[in-house]
Structure 1
């Protein structure tokens, strides 16, 4: 019975006997034709990968691949460094944010934005990586600003010192890009609120663009917040308690921004209600003013229409003062109508 339970437990875990864990020759990694590669020196620098060297826990390697490159696809499909499920996930074009644990490492799919100031919406990018204690293999198709920033950090000597630090830094950089995008949207909402307070009528199209970006950001942040929590609770040998706390802090920050996005969506709904109220009030004022003028000119119109009938027998049509009397009568009717409206407090 114990043997059966052990087999069931083993079947529920992602195990691939063909996966190489140690040692990993750098020449195998370079054959993937990476768009960027380096070996961490443990001090925050990224050294070029030497073909005769090896990826170790002290000095792990990172290769960044473009999965649209056919040579890279062939390498991913044929290498023994990756479990079969990971191979499929690294080259799959459309992905959702998720994290999957394997015996040899973890697979993470993250989505972020390339923040572009004064532009809505920001481009959405997808980033996939498989990470073990001595190796990081990441893939992308679009250029990712967070990865470019991570490369700059390695050049400056302030990059990750190990694979856990790499995971944390790349998570922070991707989160920072999302947060910058949210801050840009938030500033836009403040301007919209100021315009509404000044009773400026805004276009629903402009509000719709801001609302769409908020919804996209929320869809990005919500699952990734759960990913950071999940990784921080996983028992992984190369993630220590300090790393788990940093991942937990990232998750808390994501949770804070999700709450802010929900608040901003409510503020946008309030803006739209105020605009609708302004439009309704403006329309009512115009209709009211037209109704007042209609009341004033209805008896005058009736009188002129009656006298304009082309028939004989109109009273005093042969008198010189008849036209003057008609004008005086029209003015008198107008004045009486205005006084009556004022007394009724309709005007």
Structure 2
């Protein structure tokens, strides 16, 4: 029996048993009202109630299933299991392959781990793959349990893109808060390690590299003529793209602010170093004549003036104090101190 049969209404009948052979991490059928229905032998995919199968390609049986199934075009089978991917969107006659990158936001930790999410989507089926755990997937499953999940494949694409963007935005907000704290520390002239700035800068660069291509992907999908994406869905995708463009601009601004923070720290360090050198120079000027006299009088030779007098030591101390006072007055007069 064939795995896919197409009728006049362009609805495909997909064998549920064949889907379960992939050993999916999660699978369901969208009920068209925001909830998920467990798959059974009587389940039939449709535009209003599509299948969603989520796979972990770290499992060899899943990889074997992807390589042998006829549910996806041969050209993209490798794309669904390739470990290192860049963000991309490839349009096929039967569906669309999308590769997105996101972050698993971890509060108060940087850098947040980067995850890659791949999915092939048609008008009645979604096949998604991953290797790492993805927070956005867990959130989408939670939405389905609460009855506020996607109602069709277009809504699934939008909600998934929105959740991935939200995780990126949370990561950026965390970075932005750290930058604000760094700026406050600089204003209070508190010096901190360059490693802290380096971690923040690294996360900003990673987020920018992640957001820039995906912004273009959402624009591309929203402008392509895809039958299962209506004008309202296109506008929502365009809004996601606009939001990501806004965050790219904010990241560029934050990178400039970090550069300014580093310049101020360098300025503080240079000023602090100059003050120390200046203070040491002042002490050198003050104690140079004293050192000269003590060295001269410390020579074990006869003929040192008044060496036999009882007041000679006290007189020497008074002379040294007078020399110190004269040196300080001279430095003040020259405005060197």
TM-score, normalising length: structure 1: 0.93
Secondary structure of the residue aligned to 2:195 is: helix
Aligned to 2:9: none
Secondary structure of the residue aligned to 2:29 is: strand
- For residues 124 and 229 of structure 1, what CA distance do their matches in structure 2 show? 22
Structure 1 unaligned spans of 5+: 1-17
Q: For residues 265-294 of structure 1, give each alpha carbon's deviation from its aligned partner in whole angstroms, at most 9, with x where no partner exists.
A: 111111111111111111111111111111
Question: Residue 46 of structure 1 is aligned with which of 36, 45, 56?
Answer: 36
Q: For residues 190-241 of structure 1, give each alpha carbon's deviation from its aligned partner in whole angstroms, at most 9, with x where no partner exists.
A: 1111111111111111111111111111111111111101111111111111
- For residues 19 and 213 of structure 1, what CA distance do their matches in structure 2 show? 44
Question: Residue 259 of structure 1 is aligned with which of 243, 249, 264?
Answer: 249
Aligned to 1:4: none
Residue 52 of structure 2 corresponds to residue 62 of structure 1? yes
> How many residues end up aligned between the 2 structures?
330
Question: Shift in Å at residue 328 of structure 1?
Answer: 1.7
Q: How does 1:182-331 map to 2 (within 5 A)?
A: 182-331=172-321
For the 8 Å contact 2:4–2:14, the answer to whether it is kept is: no
Q: 1:137 to 1:158 in 2, by over 3 A?
A: same
Question: Shift in Å at residue 20 of structure 1?
Answer: 6.8
For the 8 Å contact 2:34–2:151, the answer to whether it is kept is: yes
Q: How does 1:161-176 map to 2 (within 5 A)?
A: 161-176=151-166
Q: 1:40 to 1:321 in 2, by over 3 A?
A: same
Residue 101 of structure 2 corresponds to residue 107 of structure 1? no
Secondary structure of the residue aligned to 1:295 is: helix
Structure 2 unaligned spans of 5+: 7-11
- For residues 186 and 56 of structure 1, what CA distance do their matches in structure 2 show? 44
Question: Shift in Å at residue 23 of structure 1?
Answer: 3.0
Q: How does 1:121-136 map to 2 (within 5 A)?
A: 121-136=111-126
Secondary structure of the residue aligned to 1:259 is: helix
Aligned to 1:11: none
For the 8 Å contact 1:117–1:184, the answer to whether it is kept is: yes
Q: For residues 126-163 of structure 1, give each alpha carbon's deviation from its aligned partner in whole angstroms, at most 9, with x where no partner exists.
A: 10000000100000111111001100111111111110
TM-score, normalising length: structure 2: 0.95
For the 8 Å contact 1:20–1:81, the answer to whether it is kept is: no
Question: Shift in Å at residue 247 of structure 1?
Answer: 0.3
